[in-house]
Structure 1
Amino acid sequence: MTWHGPTFRISDGEHIDGAWCLVRRRHDLLDEHFVEHLFVYADGLITRGGYEATDLAGLERLLATGRLALDPPHARERHDEPPKPPKPPQRSKWETRYPEPRTDESFLAEVADKISELAGRPRARDLLWDALGAWWRDPAEATLASLRDAYLAVPAHMRVYVLGDMDQQDRPLRMLLTGLGEAVDGDGPVATEKGHEWARAYFAGLFEGESAALERQAVLHADDPEGAPRPPVVLYEAVHPGGWPAEPGDFVLRNDYDAPFTYAGRTCPTVAHGYWALSAADPADHDRILGAAGAREAQEAGGRAARRADWPGVRLAVMAGLLRAKFDQHPRLAEVLLATGEAPIVYTGSSDARFWRDEGRGGGRNWMGRLLELVRSELRAAGTVQTPAARTAETALRAATRTGSQTGENGGA
């Protein structure tokens, strides 16, 4: 069965994940079967074609009554057709290990498995691997019995795939789970101690290889961030007709914030002034852009000026240099940047090009956010700027030290 997705439905304002597959629906009047979508959702709801909601028990009744079928019914045989030759005798399942035929029962188990997956619960295959690991760590009769139960809980037509081995398929499991002296699957080889040793050797290679792969992966990805992702700091574009607020906030990180600094021997009222002035090809435009009344006026003037031919290749370096100068020369603003911690920085708005801003699902490359994170990392590595918390702690330590010294002096007197 091929599952498609993702899909979802909204229930009481909640987003419910789902998936769908194709089945056959019997038309009550025409007595014919037509292809129909079967939707299943994480909360266990099942619908046919988006209507007639039911659940797993209801799906079982639909299959039992023939209103739903997994495959098209066999066409009626024509009486004038010659009889078909007898089928050749089939080899044992051990020799021709293909997926077992999908039945209504195994399909119901597959649907239950899909619901568990959508809900974030372990699938039958996940539980099988857990049981296999438990048996490998403690090969006792009890863990072997649990492994047998976990194997049989996997939908029958999907068991051949559980080990992910195209050559051996699930033969090592079937050999291991068959008692000594019994034929595997009833028509396969008789399980012997040698056969069990082969199965144990197979799983030894499997688990040792997996352990080595996990160790190797841990080495290669040793520098990956740990823990849950941190929520981003979103820098919104805003207008302050009455002037910037007195108490610095995240707004000071934006390029239009008034914080004059020196870069390349010139004074830039804002990062926006410096960026657009340096982008102009004609030196005569530089002073005009730097002298603009505000950041918006500087962008307007810069956007109309002819651009330097090399600008696409150097603009990232120029912007990084401007940001470094701004925060190096304004420690209070650097404190605000450092206070964002390790959170991603998302630079939004509508005035900047998509290259610099984030547009959510609409795109945008968010290079301003990335460069702010880079400068933040450089400031932290340099250690020249203290966060407000660190400065408060240092002040308290100095006060405590000073008080202790005074107490000692008084006591000595």
Structure 2
Amino acid sequence: MARTRPTYRLVDGERIDGAWCHVWTKSYAGYYLADLFVYADGAIRCVGEMDLQGLRERLSSALITLSDPERLAPAPIREGPRWSARYPEPLTDEGFMGEVYDEIESLNGRPTSSDRCWEAIMRYLQEPTEENRQAVRRVYLTIPAHRRVYVLGDMDRQDIPLRKLITDIGQPVGGDGPIATAEMHREVLEYFQAGDRGVERSREQYGILHADDPQETQIPAITSNERSTPPTEPPEPLDLFILRNEFPAPFFYQGQRYPTVLHGYWALAAADRADHDHIRDATTVREAHETGGRVPLRPEWVLVSTAVMAALLRAKFSQHPELAEVLLSTRDARISYTGISESPHWTDRGPREGRNWVGRLLELTRAELLANRILHEEGYPPSNRAGIRVGDIYE
């Protein structure tokens, strides 16, 4: 069954993660499509609440079915030997129950039946004893039958190597295949060992090609929240509010002095030079923002606004070393820039809205500050970014 994430429910304020899929439920008028939700704590919802035993009983009594019984087409008859079959077994109620149980294990971060099968395979590779081979067999058989062909992730052989391995010597593979031999088991062992070596080579090559990929940060994400009444003077001591675009930190950019990043952003967005100057000289951040939102903006501003914001943040922090130190103190933490006054393009508003571009550009500015510091200590000249003057862009 196809499962979709994420979903969740709240229990006493605690989030319980879940997944869901489609099933058919019986009513007085026949069967209809419904959503079946499974949660990490074992709770199941589908036209009412139940647990695993309740789901089993509803499947047994056909109150819940895995397909529409009123439109169910007969299963096609597949030709050929079963031992080498490359298609999944039919989905059954018992297989579905196993899949639901695996989903609950996965939601809790515990190994599924497929994970446990791979763990058994790894133990067999390290020590190919009869006991470990039997352990592979036991765990393989716990995988829902309709999911077994996918366990190895081999598009060509599916799970055929496993079917050979779990068959006792002298017995037919899959009941109608060749007789299992010690040589067959050795070939399967070589198959897994070759795959293991291939994985190691891939990891080594990946490490070479991605040698500059940052390791996972140990510093938690930083959230920069908007304040209803931003201060007009820098507070003492300085805190992470220095990250905000409305923070009062006058700086020069292309020959013009701007009280805040928001003053500079909306002034430069204005198509008319007189509007630029009016916004630049606005008494408050709110006045600058609202005035900028009312005046005509320069053509194609949306195409250049992100680059302009990056330049303004760079100017702000490069001209205020004390602010740069606070930004650098965040090291490699992700910066979430929240708020409702600035557009979703700039702010982080959760997984479904907001692109957090200010947060991203702050991280870029932080990296540039550190790079300049390192290069300066090694004797390289500081970066000098060329740019046009504000006067030029209004001519």
TM-score (norm 2): 0.79
Q: In the alignment, is residue 17 of structure 1 matched against residue 14 of structure 2?
A: no
Aligned match for 1:278, one of 268, 273, 282: 268
**Most deviating of 133-142 and 291-300:** 291-300
Residue 155 of structure 1, CA deviation: 1.7
AA paired with 1:353? S
Q: Secondary structure at the match of 1:218?
A: helix
Q: Secondary structure at the match of 1:342?
A: coil
Q: Which residue of 1 aligns with 2:226?
A: 236
Q: Secondary structure at the match of 1:181?
A: coil
Aligned match for 1:201, one of 187, 190, 195: 190
Work out the CA distance in 1 between the residues paired with 2:272 and 2:68. Answer: 74
Work out the CA distance in 2 between the residues paired with 1:26 and 1:166. Answer: 37
- The superposition leaves residues 137-168 of structure 1 with CA deviations (integer Å, 9 ceiling, x where unpaired) of 22122221211111111122322222223332
Gaps of 5+ in 1: 76-86, 385-413
Q: 1:62 and 1:370, CA in 2 relative to 1: closer, same or farther beyond 3 A?
A: closer
Gaps of 5+ in 2: 375-395
Work out the CA distance in 2 between the residues paired with 1:89 and 1:383. Answer: 69
Contact 1:338 1:376 in 2 (8 A): yes
Q: In the alignment, is residue 128 of structure 1 matched against residue 117 of structure 2?
A: yes
Q: In the alignment, is residue 257 of structure 1 matched against residue 255 of structure 2?
A: no
Q: 1:298 and 1:60, CA in 2 relative to 1: closer, same or farther beyond 3 A?
A: closer
Contact 2:259 2:280 in 1 (8 A): yes
Contact 2:224 2:243 in 1 (8 A): no
Q: 1:216 and 1:66, CA in 2 relative to 1: closer, same or farther beyond 3 A?
A: same
Aligned match for 2:168, one of 179, 182, 203: 179
Q: Which residue of 1 aligns with 2:42?
A: 44
Matches within 5 A, 1:376-391: 376-383=366-373
Work out the CA distance in 2 between the residues paired with 1:113 and 1:98. Answer: 21
Work out the CA distance in 2 between the residues paired with 1:323 and 1:359. Answer: 21
Q: Which residue of 2 aligns with 1:354?
A: 344
Matches within 5 A, 1:99-178: 99-178=88-167
Work out the CA distance in 1 between the residues paired with 2:86 and 2:118. Answer: 21
Q: Which residue of 2 aligns with 1:56?
A: 52
Q: In the alignment, is residue 371 of structure 1 matched against residue 330 of structure 2?
A: no
Work out the CA distance in 2 between the residues paired with 1:283 and 1:212. Answer: 60
Work out the CA distance in 1 between the residues paired with 2:313 and 2:77. Answer: 78
TM-score (norm 1): 0.76
Work out the CA distance in 2 between the residues paired with 1:364 and 1:88. Answer: 51
Work out the CA distance in 1 between the residues paired with 2:64 and 2:299. Answer: 67
Contact 1:20 1:39 in 2 (8 A): yes
Contact 1:233 1:340 in 2 (8 A): no
Q: 1:141 and 1:233, CA in 2 relative to 1: closer, same or farther beyond 3 A?
A: same
Residue 65 of structure 1, CA deviation: 5.2
Q: 1:227 and 1:347, CA in 2 relative to 1: closer, same or farther beyond 3 A?
A: closer
CA RMSD across the alignment: 3.4
Q: 1:161 and 1:256, CA in 2 relative to 1: closer, same or farther beyond 3 A?
A: closer
AA paired with 1:40? V
Work out the CA distance in 2 between the residues paired with 1:362 and 1:171. Answer: 42
Contact 2:267 2:277 in 1 (8 A): yes
AA paired with 2:310? A
Q: 1:143 and 1:243, CA in 2 relative to 1: closer, same or farther beyond 3 A?
A: same
Q: 1:290 and 1:41, CA in 2 relative to 1: closer, same or farther beyond 3 A?
A: closer
Q: Secondary structure at the match of 1:292?
A: coil
Residue 359 of structure 1, CA deviation: 3.1
Q: Secondary structure at the match of 2:369?
A: helix
Contact 2:31 2:70 in 1 (8 A): no
Residue 224 of structure 1, CA deviation: 2.8
Contact 2:250 2:259 in 1 (8 A): yes
AA paired with 1:175? K
* Matched positions, count: 369
- The superposition leaves residues 161-199 of structure 1 with CA deviations (integer Å, 9 ceiling, x where unpaired) of 222233322221111222222211222111123423332
Contact 1:18 1:39 in 2 (8 A): yes
